[in-house]
Structure 1
Amino acid sequence: MDDQAFAEWLATRAGAALTGLRASQGFADPAALKNAGDKASHDLMVAELARWRPEDAVLSEEHADSRQAWSSGEQPPRLTADRVWIIDPLDGTREFSEEGRTDWAVHVALWERTAGPDGGLTAGAVGMPARTGADGAPLVLGTGLPTPTGVDGPIRIAVSRTRPPAFVSTLIEQIGGQAVPMGSAGVKVCAVVTGEVDAYVHAGGQYEWDSAAPVAVALGAGMHASRIDGSPLRYNRTDPLLPDLLVCRPELAEQLLAAIARCQ
């Protein structure tokens, strides 16, 4: 498989494992289900990457040192690697542990050093195992999707259902928009790609694995993706903290960036 097909396959495999775990373990102990989901998906994904892409480095949310900001001293292999898989084995653990919720996801992205001056994302997939596509199979979005049709009515902005940015209510009031709360960063970005919403705005804390795969999918569909100040999103950095982002339809980027700036 090429890298894009592999990313979609891996997201599908991990998603199937998570769906099975949810069915077998049930929802009586949400904390235990969250922990089991994180571990099961991480273990599966890391094992498959070691089997099929053994020369590549991996950055996973579930690595013990994943949140460490590295200095110029001892560093993980990913910082000198040419290819790094950035994965979030379970994005939206809260939603995963709540019966009936479908807004949780699996993220798989590939960063390559040769894809630009700072490297870049070259493959990405977001699996949404609790949702189905037109063929009835669990939904997995990859790159190269068509751009949805234009905005009709108020600008719909996906926001965190539990941690919306403090300024977002002001932003929505300024532009006459509509907030659409949902879980999982991947689900929110994919909602932009599919036309369910027009934008996703986040600030206040994320890491590279929260946005890498969704951003790869969004860019592949012709969407705008940046920090909320308009600067580029960069991956495989010494500090994996990447606390904010804007993903939106390209024709809305200038308007939204200007409105966000006024709200800061």
Structure 2
Amino acid sequence: MDQGIVKLLPAVRGIAREAGEVILRYYTDTVTAHVKADGSPVTAADNAAEAVILPALHHLTPDIPVISEEQHAAGKSPPGDHGTYWLVDPLDGTKGFIEHTGEFTVNIGLIKDGVPVLGVMYLPVDGDTYAAAGPGTAVYGARARHDVPISCRVVPADGLVVLSSRRHGDRERLDKFLEGKLVKEHRHSSSALKFCLIARGEVDIYPRFGPTCEWDTAAGHAILLAAGGSIETPDGQSLAYGKPRYLNGEFIAYGRK
């Protein structure tokens, strides 16, 4: 475990919490959204949260570049290949924010040599935090309560609990993937919180057959790894980071296999 990375965790949690507090200022009866070039929505809350996170990370780690969703969409990401870099989704689950479902998060992940080594996910509405900085460090903290360690579970004998996206499902692909597997229950969820539900032992598997970006997965991936889980491509390779345009292909997130 890299103690230097572990020491960053409290500060990053504070940054995510501060961004979440800013987001809630925009969580009013009417939320105005604009559509980006990729067809996804963006709101003033996305940009306001990013405006909190970017300078704070630059101050915390001046030598580590930051790749953030809205900055990247505006063509302002730091150029070049980076061995170590931050990946930020200032408001993951923007549609949930717009629809007032409460299912949205602030995600901050640190990548080192293609692997997520630190992750913080903050839920502004509930005040919950998931965080990790290496194997065995995954924790869940509720508002005004002490952190509790979390870990993935072994698949129960009565079958898998499967998680899929509320909005980006491919039922045909999912059914084919699950053929021959004992499935107890199928749940749906939005935002990157899905990774944390596996990390805390509530769910066993999350197959994703649609496109995502690295900032969508980095924080949750780091937490899941620390809790004993994994994210793999369909051919069984670990999902790696630093890909062209920061785009992920298909993947399956697992608890303990």
In the superposition, the TM-score normalised over structure 2's length comes to 0.80
> Aligned pair in 2 of structure 1 residues 156, 109: CA closer, same or farther (>3 Å)?
same
Distance 2:95 2:210 in 1: 18
Distance 1:82 1:3 in 2: 18
Consecutive unaligned residues of structure 1, counting only runs of 5 or more, are 69-74, 114-118, 132-137, 252-264
Quote the residue 1:196 is aligned against. Answer: 202
**Aligned residue type for 1:191:** L
Consecutive unaligned residues of structure 2, counting only runs of 5 or more, are 1-5, 35-40, 139-149
Distance 2:75 2:238 in 1: 21
Quote the residue 1:127 is aligned against. Answer: 122
**Does residue 218 of the first structure (1) align with residue 206 of the second (2)?**
no
Q: Deviations over 1:87-120 (max 9, x none)?
A: 1111111111122x2221111011124xxxxx42
Local SS of the residue matching 2:246: coil
> Contact 1:106/1:128 (CA < 8 Å) preserved in 2?
yes
**Does residue 181 of the first structure (1) align with residue 149 of the second (2)?**
no
Which of 222, 226, 245 does residue 239 from structure 1 map onto? 245
Distance 2:80 2:13 in 1: 22
Q: What's the % identity of the aligned pairs?
A: 25
Distance 1:238 1:18 in 2: 30
Which of 45, 68, 88 does residue 60 from structure 1 map onto? 68
> Contact 2:228/2:256 (CA < 8 Å) preserved in 1?
yes
> Contact 1:124/1:216 (CA < 8 Å) preserved in 2?
yes
How far did 1:229 drift? 2.2
> Contact 2:109/2:218 (CA < 8 Å) preserved in 1?
yes
Q: Deviations over 1:133-157 (max 9, x none)?
A: xxxxx11111112324433333111
From the two aligned structures, give the one with the greater helix fraction. Answer: 1
Which of 23, 26, 29 does residue 27 from structure 1 map onto? 29
From the two aligned structures, give the one with the greater strand fraction. Answer: 2
Give matches, 1:146-185, under 5 Å: 146-152=150-156, 153-165=158-170, 166-172=172-178, 174-177=180-183, 178-184=185-191
Give matches, 1:21-100, under 5 Å: 21-22=26-27, 26-31=28-33, 34-65=42-73, 76-77=78-79, 79=81, 81-99=82-100
Distance 1:51 1:224 in 2: 31
In the superposition, the TM-score normalised over structure 1's length comes to 0.78
Local SS of the residue matching 1:28: coil
